[in-house]
Amino acid sequence: MVQTESGDRQARHLLKPPGAVTLVSLSTSTVSDQAFVTLATNDIYCQGALVLGQSLRNQRATRRLVVLITPQVSNLLRVILSKVFDEVIEVNLIDSADYIHLAFLKRPELGVTLTKLHCWTLTHYSKCVFLDADTLVLSNIDELFDRTEFSAAPDPGWPDCFNSGVFVFQPSLETHGLLLQHATDHGSFDGADQGLLNSFFSSWSTADIHKHLPFIYNLSSNTAYTYSPAFKRFGSSVKVVHFLGPTKPWNYKYNPQTGSVLEEGSGLANQHQTSFLNLWWKIYQHSILPLYESFQDEEDHASPGHTLKRCKEDLPDASLFVQAAVEELGAISAVGSSQPWPAQGPVEQTVVSDDTPPSPKGCHAEDVDLAVSVFEISIEEKVKELSPEEERRKWEEGRIDYMGKDAFARIQEKLDRFLQ
């Protein structure tokens, strides 16, 4: 990966309030009119996008790397994303066109879905591969660009439908418009993008076998066990793992010494899934955490005593970040191999930042808490209590938590309580 000073400087332009489209050029890929695209609508999903982007770089992807973000994504994460992705493009969570607004008021949970559809507006690319932020690339997948729109792999839960976590598409404003129109007219049978895309590209299951991507391009890690003989036979050729479902890699805690996720609290994962989870975390530890540190170092010049600098100083013999920076993460094909972490000091040492009282939660990244100690790394969403004024401003700015507390069901609950 080529990272230039100027790339980092350009990244500053991503700070809010950004323009509709911001271009950041970090690397010269061999094919510049094609791209891998992902989406992150908040700082937590950004952690997934970062690992995905890094996994594509590790596998020497020859196309541009693009991440679509929404206004909720914090300034810090914008800068960090720009260190991994060639382009960080802000899109709106809901398009401002009134007909969409009206249609979707009845189905607020589709907001995030609509955002995925924005990938068709990337018309400066002739062809793209979309990957969910909860996917991990294990080997080079450039050959996907030999496929045409609309190619995707079967969904493990209903194989006559495709899974919309990995797909090949051709950006086109016309298609984008038709998709939105389809959403307006028909909604989505699963209330999200997968249902919508399946009914729009409804001939996928029958028309052209070339549009069926092999399952190795979208292996659902949590369902692999349901057909373990096949996993035994074909598992070694898996190219993309997809952590679909409610529990994502970032919901686990990770022990950097043993190189494995800690299972307690997050339910027991099957053995294959554990290897993939460990791989995800290995990339996170070695390649993503150091990005936070380098950003903080830059900030230190401007404002001495900033958070992560102290973290580093407080960890003289653990030096997680320093080790991570010098250790080049090469091929990650060693699925399941244990990663012995060099011996560290025997006493658990917790990273503590400047402006928070000593506690296990140390390094913070605006909307996420990164707790880093010798024995445990974890990513947690900050629970922010907003004042009624802040809540109102959020709504007025269109920053509505459709999946969470502003979900239609929650609002209905509130109304019911009020009307009782």
Ligand X SMILES: O=c1ccn([C@@H]2O[C@H](COP(=O)(O)OP(=O)(O)O[C@H]3O[C@H](CO)[C@@H](O)[C@H](O)[C@H]3O)[C@@H](O)[C@H]2O)c(=O)[nH]1
* Residues making contact with ligand X (CB under 6 A): 38-42, 45, 112, 116, 132-134, 163-165, 190, 192-194, 244-245, 403
- Selected range binding Mn ion among 36-44, 141-149, 161-169, 291-299, rule: CB under 5 A: 161-169
Binding-site residue total for Mn ion (CB under 5 A)? 4
Q: Which is nearer to ligand X, 161 or 351 (CB)?
A: 161
Placement of tokens 């402006």 in the chain = 355
Q: Does 152 bind Mn ion (CB under 5 A)?
A: no
**Cβ proximity to Mn ion, 165 vs 290, nearer residue:** 165
User: CB 151 → Mn ion: shortest distance, Å?
Assistant: 17
Shortest Cβ 230–Mn ion spacing (Å): 21
Token readout for 321 is 């970040």
134 contacts Mn ion (rule: CB under 5 A): yes
If contact means CB under 5 to 8 A according to the sort of partner, which of ligand X, Mn ion, none does residue 45 touch?
ligand X
Residue holding tokens 């949970």?
Answer: 109
User: Within positions 93 to 122, which residues make up the interface with Mn ion, using CB under 5 A?
Assistant: none
Instruction: Between 347 and 409, name the residue whose CB sits nearer to ligand X.
Output: 409
The token pair that represents 275 in the structure block: 């290897």
- Supply the minimum distance, in Å, between the C-beta of residue 193 and ligand X: 5
- Tell me the C-alpha distance between 323 and 35, whole Å: 32
- Answer for which of 67, 131, 224, 244 binds Mn ion (CB under 5 A) is 244
Minimum CB separation of residue 408 from Mn ion in Å reads: 22
Query: Helix 75-84 to helix 289-302 angle, to the nearest 10 degrees?
Result: 120
Name the residue with the smallest CB distance to Mn ion: 132
Rule CB under 5 A: say whether 165 interacts with Mn ion: yes
Give the residue, chosen from 132, 155, 193, 369, that forms a contact with Mn ion under the rule CB under 5 A.
132
155 belongs to the binding site for Mn ion (CB under 5 A): no
Q: Closer CB to Mn ion, residue 132 or residue 293?
A: 132
The distance of closest approach from Cβ of residue 83 to ligand X in the complex, given in angstroms and rounded to an integer, is 19
Q: In the complex, what is the shortest distance from the CB of residue 245 to Mn ion, in angstroms, rounded to a whole number?
A: 8
From Mn ion, ligand X, none, interface partner of 335 (C-beta below 5 to 8 A by class): none
Token pair for 376:
């445990």
Conformational region of residue 103, where left means phi above 0, alpha means psi within -120 to 50, and beta covers everything else: alpha
19-27, 134-142, 214-222, 346-354 -> range binding Mn ion (CB under 5 A): 134-142
Q: State the binding partner of 114 from Mn ion, ligand X, none, CB within 5 to 8 A by kind.
A: none
CB of 70 to Mn ion, least distance (A): 17
Instruction: Calculate the alpha carbon distances from 9 to 25, 73, 297, 298, 419 in Å.
Output: 11, 19, 14, 11, 54
Q: What does the alpha-carbon distance between residue 325 and residue 305 come to, in Å, rounded to a whole number?
A: 21
59 binds, among Mn ion, ligand X, none (CB under 5 to 8 A by kind): none
Residue number with CB closer to Mn ion (43 or 132): 132
Judged by CB under 5 A, the stretch of 103-111, 200-208, 240-248, 287-295 that binds Mn ion is 240-248
Q: Of 1 and 192, which has the nearer Cβ to ligand X?
A: 192
Output 128 or 324, the one with its CB closest to Mn ion: 128
| Amino acid letter for position 10 | Q
Q: How far is the CB of 249 from Mn ion (least distance, A)?
A: 11
Which residue, 133 or 289, has its beta carbon nearer to ligand X? 133
The binding site for Mn ion (CB under 5 A) comprises 132, 134, 165, 244
